[in-house]
C-alpha cells in the first residue's frame, strides 16, 4: 500500500507486460495514473484484508472478547486480530484516497465463492470499480483473450476466471473450460 500511495501521489504510470497479481493488483495497479496491459499481460486479484474468512475471524474474535469467552483463543490470536484490524483500516483509507471500490478484490469470493485461485475483469468492470485510464486489448479478460495465455493453467491449475457485464449491465462470471490456446 505504501508503494501504491507513492505511485498515486506522484502520478506514475504502470505497464503490465506479463503478470500483476496480489498486492500489485490490489494496490499498485489501481493507484497508477495510466495503466497499460500488454498483449500477454494479466491483472489478477485473489482477495484482500476484507475477504470473508478474515472478516469472519475478526467477528469471532470480537464476539468472544465481548462475551469474555474462550480466553485461550483470544490470547492466541490477539496479535493476528490487531494486525488485521490495522491493515483493514489502512486499506480502507488507501482505497478512499485513490477512489477505488475494493470489492473488486473479492469478486471471485463474494457474493459467490467460485473456488478459484484468481480472477481478472474486463476494462468495464475495472472502470465501474473506479480503476480508470486502463489501456489493453479490446477483448481483454474475455474468454478469447484468456485462451491466448498459454501459462494460465500452469499458474492457476484451471482455477481461474474473469468477470464482465451482460447486456443488461449485470456482473457476470466468465468461466473457462480450457485456457490453453
Query: Of 96, 119, 153, which closes a domain?
Result: 96
Residue 34 shares a structural domain with residue 113:
yes
* Phi-psi domain of 99 (left: phi exceeds 0; alpha: psi -120 through 50; beta: other): left
* Residue found under cell 498483449: 39
Give the mean pLDDT of 92-114.
Answer: 94
Residue 37 shares a structural domain with residue 107:
yes
Residue 150 shares a structural domain with residue 64:
no
Whether residue 180 is contained in a domain is answered as no
Whether residue 68 is contained in a domain is answered as yes
Q: How confident is the model at residue 177 (pLDDT cuts 50, 70, 90)?
A: low
Note if the pTM is more than 0.85.
yes
Pairing of strands 42-44, 134-135: unpaired
Give the number of domains in the chain: 2
Residue 60 shares a structural domain with residue 43:
no
pLDDT tens profile 69-86? 898 999 999 999 999 999
Return the HEC string of 55-118: HHHHHHHHHHHHHCCCHHHHHHHHHHHHHHHHHHHHHHHHHHHHCCCHHHHHCCCCCCCCCCCE
pLDDT tens profile 38-81? 999 999 999 888 888 888 999 999 999 999 889 899 999 999 99
For residue 181, what is its C-alpha cell? Answer: 490456446
Which range of residues forms the domain containing residue 83? Answer: 52-96
Whether residue 133 is contained in a domain is answered as yes
Residue 21 shares a structural domain with residue 59:
no
Instruction: Output b/e per residue, 111-147; b: 16+ Cβ within 10 A.
Output: eeebebbbbbbbbebbebbebbebebbeebbebebbe
The pLDDT of residue 151 = 76
The pLDDT of residue 181 = 39
The pLDDT of residue 156 = 80
pLDDT beyond 80 at 150: no
Amino acid at each position: 500500500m505504501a508503494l501504491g500511495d507513492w505511485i498515486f501521489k506522484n502520478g506514475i504510470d504502470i505497464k503490465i507486460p506479463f503478470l500483476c497479481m496480489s498486492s500489485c493488483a490490489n494496490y499498485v495497479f489501481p493507484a497508477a495514473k495510466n495503466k497499460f496491459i500488454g498483449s500477454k499481460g494479466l491483472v489478477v486479484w485473489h482477495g484482500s484484508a476484507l475477504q470473508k474468512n478474515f472478516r469472519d475471524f475478526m467477528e469471532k474474535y470480537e464476539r468472544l472478547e465481548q462475551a469474555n469467552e474462550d480466553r485461550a483463543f483470544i490470547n492466541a490470536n490477539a496479535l493476528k486480530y490487531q494486525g488485521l484490524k490495522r491493515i483493514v483500516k489502512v486499506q480502507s483509507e488507501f482505497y478512499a484516497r485513490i477512489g477505488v471500490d475494493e470489492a473488486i478484490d473479492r469478486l471471485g469470493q463474494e457474493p459467490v465463492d467460485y473456488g478459484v485461485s484468481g480472477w481478472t475483469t474486463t476494462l468495464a468492470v475495472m472502470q465501474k470499480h473506479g480503476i480508470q485510464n486502463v489501456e489493453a486489448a479490446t477483448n481483454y479478460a474475455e474468454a478469447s483473450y484468456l485462451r491466448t495465455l498459454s501459462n494460465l493453467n500452469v499458474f492457476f491449475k484451471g482455477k481461474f476466471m474473469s468477470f464482465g457485464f451482460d447486456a443488461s449491465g449485470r456482473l457476470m462470471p466468465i468461466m473457462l473450460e480450457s485456457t490453453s490456446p
